[in-house]
Structure 1
Amino acid sequence: MNYKVVILDIDGTILPHGKTISPATFGAIQQLRDKNIKVVIATGRAPYFSNSIIHDTGVDSMVFFNGAYAYHEGKEIYKNAIEKEVLEKVLTMSHGYLHPLTFLAGTRFTVSDLNHPFVTEAYMHDSWQLELAPPHFWKDQDIYQLFLHCELEDEVSYQQEIPELDFRRWTSGARTCDVNLTKSNKAVGVSKLLEKMGIAPDEAIAFGDGLNDIEMLSLVGMGVAMGSARDEVKQAAKMVTFSAEEDGVRFGLERLGLI
C-alpha cells in the first residue's frame, strides 16, 4: 500500500509517559516529511495541553479532545461541543457523589475543586496553572471534553445514567477518566481531517496505545498498537510495535518500510 499519512497519538506513543520525545522519534517524523508523507497528531489532549509538542514536531494538522476538534494546516475545520443539557446531567451526578470535574473549553480549562486529592493526583506531573471553575463556566463556554475524577467502580453509574457520554479511564490505575460524547471519538475527527486532505482511510497509518485509540486504529489501513497497550487496543490493530520508551514509532515505521 502507498501510505500517504501517518497519524500519531501523543501520550504513550510519541511521548513516553513523564518524559520527552526521543531523538529517534523526532528523526522518524522528519524522515516521513522528507518522503512527502504527511504527519498528523490525534490526541485526547486539548490544544493548550499540546502546544509544546506541536511546536517541537512542526505538525500543523491535528485532532484534539478525542476527535471533537480538528485543525487542517492550522485552520479549524471541525468542532463538536457537548450539549448543555448533557453537561447538566453530569454536573448533577458529580455534585451528588462529590466527584470533581475538569471542564475543557476551546482555549482554557477549569476545575470544580482545586484541593481534591484525585485532582491533585491527575495534575501532579504537569506544570499547568489550575483555575477554579466559575459557577456558570460550563454554560458560558463550549465544552468539548470533561475529566471526571473518581474511582473506577463509581464510573459505572455515570455510564448507566448518561448514555450520551463515553467514559474512558486514563490508565488502569488512574482515578480520572476522559468524558466525551458517545458519538465522538478519534476516528470521527480523523475522518474529517482525511476528507479535507483528500486521503482515503486505507491510505493512512495510525499509532496509538490507549482505549481512546481503538476506533482510530480500526479505521485506517494500518493500525499500529504500541507494545505497552492493553490487549483490547492490540486486538484493534493490525500490527504491534515496541513501547514509546523503546522508540516503538520508529521501529514500526521501519518495519513497514516507510523510513
Structure 2
Amino acid sequence: MDIKAVFFDLDGTLFTSTRGVATSTRKAIQELRQKDIFVGIATGRGPAFVMPLLEDLDLDFAVSYNGQYIFTPKEVIFQNPLEQKSLKNLINYATENHSDISLGTAHGVNGSGLLKFGETRLASFLSGVLPSGTSGVARNSFKHIIRRVLPQNSNLADNEEEVIYQAMMVATRNETARLQEAFPELLVTRSNPYSVDLISKSGGKLPGIQRLGEHYGFTLDQVMCFGDSENDLTMISGVGYGIAMGNAVPEVKNIATYITDTNNQDGIAKALAYYGLIHYSVEKDFVSKDQNFNKVKDFHRLMDGKTQEIPKAFSPTEASFRADFKVEEIVEFLYASADGNQEKFTELVNNLHQAVDKAANKVTLKEHNEDSLTGQVDAMIDLLYFTYGSLVLSGIDPYEIFNAVHRANMGKIFPDGRPHFDPITHKVLKPEDWEEKFAPEGKIKKELERQKRVAAKKYENK
C-alpha cells in the first residue's frame, strides 16, 4: 500500500455533528504526519474558514471552494474565480426566484444571512433536530424564521471589487437539474439537502487534489480521501482509496472502496487503522508494550478484518498453517546459508528433516502437564527468543529492517482496496506492482550495508 496523501472533507467527515474534531482524528493526523504522509482538506468551504484548521491541526494544504482556491499555510497554489457574466446572471436568477445566495471570496462569504447561519454550531444542532423526513412546509417555515433575524444581503451586485470563487444558493434537490440547465458553464454540486455550490465547470475537489499531486509529487492512485456528501462523489471514485463515512449518503457508499464508521464514532481513525496507516484501538482492544507486536496486529487487522482480543489456542489445522509459514522461512534461511551451493542446501534440508524427526520423538516422550494454550505460547516465545538470539549472534539491529518488512506486508492490498488470499495455503497474495513498490530485499541490503559501515568506523577508532 503506497499512500502519499490523505484528504478529508469537513462537514460530516472531519467534523463531528457538533463541529468539533474527534480526539482520535487528531491523533491519527499526528501519526500520518510522522510517517511523512501529506494531510489536507478538500471542502466546499472557503479559505477564511479553513485556514485556522490548517494551523490548528498542522495540515499541509487545502482544496477549498470545491477546488476553486487551493492553498497551504504559506502560499496560494491555484485560484479560479467565477466570471463576472456568470455572477451577474446568478444574482439576477436568485433575485427573480427569491432564493438566498452568498458569494465566496478569499476573505469570507458575503450575502445571505441564512447561508452564513448554516455554518454555525447552532445550525448544525437545529438541522439534527429536524429529521430528514421533515416536510418541505416545515423546512420552509424554519427558513423564513431565520431570514427575519438574518436578512439576505441585497447589495451583492454592487460589489465588483472582490474576486468571487464560488456561489452558494438555497435550493432543494429537485431544483438541481433546473439550475444546471440555466447555467451550463458552471458545475452545480451540493454538500447538503438545502443548498448548492456553483463553481466553474472545470472545478471540483478531484481536479484540485490532482493539482496538488502535480505540485508535491504524488498521483491520484496514491491518495486516500474521506467524504460523505454528493460533492465528494468524484473525489471518492477518482482516487486510489475512497472512504465513505458511515453517515454518508447512499451514492457515496455505493462507489467507495471502503465504508467506515460515522463521523461521531471515530470513523476516520478506524479506517486509517484498517489500512494499517495508524494504530487505533477500540475499547475492547488491547495494546502491547511491544511496538513490533502492535505493527503485526495492524497487519492482521488489515488482512483479516479483525484481531483476536481474548487469548485462545490454535486448532490443529490453524497450528499446521502457522507452522507451514514458519518452516518456509526456515528453509529460506538455510538456502541463504548455502549461498548458492545446491549440494550444501540439500544436505541442510536433509538435516532439517532429521531434526524434525528427532524433535518429534523428544516431545512425544516428554511429560506434558500444561494445557494447549500454555504449551503453544511457550513454544512461540521460545521461537521468538531464538530469532532474536540469531540476530544477536549475527550482529544485526532488527529495528529498521523489521519496519521495512512491515511496510512491505502492509503493501499487499489490491486495487479493489482489499487483501487477496491463496485458496489452498491461505497465504496473503501480492499485487502485480508489489515487487516494484514494496519488495523489502533492497531496503534490507541497504540497511545492512549501513550497519556494517557504522560498525567498521567504530572499530577503526579503537
Q: Same fold (TM over 0.5)?
A: yes
Contact 2:110–2:156, Cα closer than 8 Å, also in 1: no
Is 1:189 matched with 2:208? yes
Between stretches 155-164 and 246-255, larger displacement belongs to: 155-164
Using a 3 Å threshold, how does the CA distance of structure 1 residues 155 and 213 change in structure 2: closer, same or farther? Answer: closer
Pairwise CA RMSD of aligned residues? 2.3
How big is each residue's C-alpha offset from its partner over 1:115-135, in whole Å with a ceiling of 9 and x where there is no partner?
xxx5476355369x9994634
Q: For 1:197 and 1:124, how far apart are their aligned partners in 2?
A: 33
Is 1:257 matched with 2:276? yes
Q: For 1:205 and 1:130, how far apart are their aligned partners in 2?
A: 40
User: SS at the partner of 2:26?
Assistant: helix
Gaps spanning 5+ residues in structure 1: where? none
Contact 1:225–1:241, Cα closer than 8 Å, also in 2: yes
User: SS at the partner of 1:257?
Assistant: coil
Q: For 1:126 and 1:64, how far apart are their aligned partners in 2?
A: 23
State the Cα distance separating 1:217 from its structure 2 match.
1.4
Q: How does 1:120-159 map to 2 (within 5 A)?
A: 122-123=118-119, 125=121, 132=153, 134-137=155-158, 139-159=160-180
State the Cα distance separating 1:226 from its structure 2 match.
0.7
1:85 aligns to what?
Answer: 85
Amino acid of the residue matched to residue 118 of structure 2?
Answer: A
2:20 aligns to what?
Answer: 20
Contact 2:91–2:156, Cα closer than 8 Å, also in 1: no
How big is each residue's C-alpha offset from its partner over 1:28-62, in whole Å with a ceiling of 9 and x where there is no partner?
00011111111111111101122332222111311
Amino acid of the residue matched to residue 204 of structure 1?
Answer: V
Q: Which of 166, 186, 191 is the equivalent residue of 1:165?
A: 186
Using a 3 Å threshold, how does the CA distance of structure 1 residues 16 and 137 change in structure 2: closer, same or farther? Answer: farther
Q: For 1:144 and 1:97, how far apart are their aligned partners in 2?
A: 22
User: SS at the partner of 1:12?
Assistant: helix
Q: For 1:99 and 1:82, how far apart are their aligned partners in 2?
A: 19
Q: For 1:8 and 1:124, how far apart are their aligned partners in 2?
A: 19
Between stretches 62-71 and 148-157, larger displacement belongs to: 148-157
User: SS at the partner of 1:224?
Assistant: strand
State the Cα distance separating 1:73 from its structure 2 match.
5.5
Contact 1:146–1:178, Cα closer than 8 Å, also in 2: yes
Is 1:215 matched with 2:211? no
Q: For 1:17 and 1:212, how far apart are their aligned partners in 2?
A: 18
How big is each residue's C-alpha offset from its partner over 1:182-208, in whole Å with a ceiling of 9 and x where there is no partner?
321001111111110011111111111
User: SS at the partner of 2:77?
Assistant: strand
Structure of greater relative contact order (alpha carbons < 8 Å, 6+ residues apart): 1
Using a 3 Å threshold, how does the CA distance of structure 1 residues 121 and 74 change in structure 2: closer, same or farther? Answer: closer
Q: How does 1:48-67 map to 2 (within 5 A)?
A: 48-67=48-67
Q: For 1:144 and 1:33, how far apart are their aligned partners in 2?
A: 30
Is 1:102 matched with 2:121? no
User: SS at the partner of 1:253?
Assistant: helix
2:39 aligns to what?
Answer: 39
Using a 3 Å threshold, how does the CA distance of structure 1 residues 48 and 131 change in structure 2: closer, same or farther? Answer: farther
How big is each residue's C-alpha offset from its partner over 1:161-197, in whole Å with a ceiling of 9 and x where there is no partner?
111222233323x2x2222223210011111111100
Q: For 1:158 and 1:182, how far apart are their aligned partners in 2?
A: 13
Q: For 1:223 and 1:104, how far apart are their aligned partners in 2?
A: 27
Amino acid of the residue matched to residue 185 of structure 1?
Answer: G
Q: For 1:102 and 1:22, how far apart are their aligned partners in 2?
A: 30
Contact 1:103–1:138, Cα closer than 8 Å, also in 2: no
2:315 aligns to what?
Answer: none
Amino acid of the residue matched to residue 141 of structure 1?
Answer: E
Q: For 1:251 and 1:151, how far apart are their aligned partners in 2?
A: 33
Gaps spanning 5+ residues in structure 2: where? 124-149, 279-462
Contact 1:14–1:249, Cα closer than 8 Å, also in 2: yes
Is 1:201 matched with 2:220? yes
User: SS at the partner of 2:10?
Assistant: coil
> How many residues are paired up?
252
Using a 3 Å threshold, how does the CA distance of structure 1 residues 232 and 154 change in structure 2: closer, same or farther? Answer: closer
2:248 aligns to what?
Answer: 229
Amino acid of the residue matched to residue 181 of structure 1?
Answer: S
Q: For 2:199 and 2:238, how far apart are their aligned partners in 1?
A: 19
**TM-score (normalizing by structure 2):** 0.51
Contact 2:88–2:157, Cα closer than 8 Å, also in 1: no
Q: For 2:180 and 2:273, how far apart are their aligned partners in 1?
A: 40
Using a 3 Å threshold, how does the CA distance of structure 1 residues 130 and 61 change in structure 2: closer, same or farther? Answer: farther
Higher normalized strand content (fraction of residues):
1
The runs of 4+ residues in structure 1 deviating greater than 3 Å are 118-121, 123-127, 129-138, 150-156
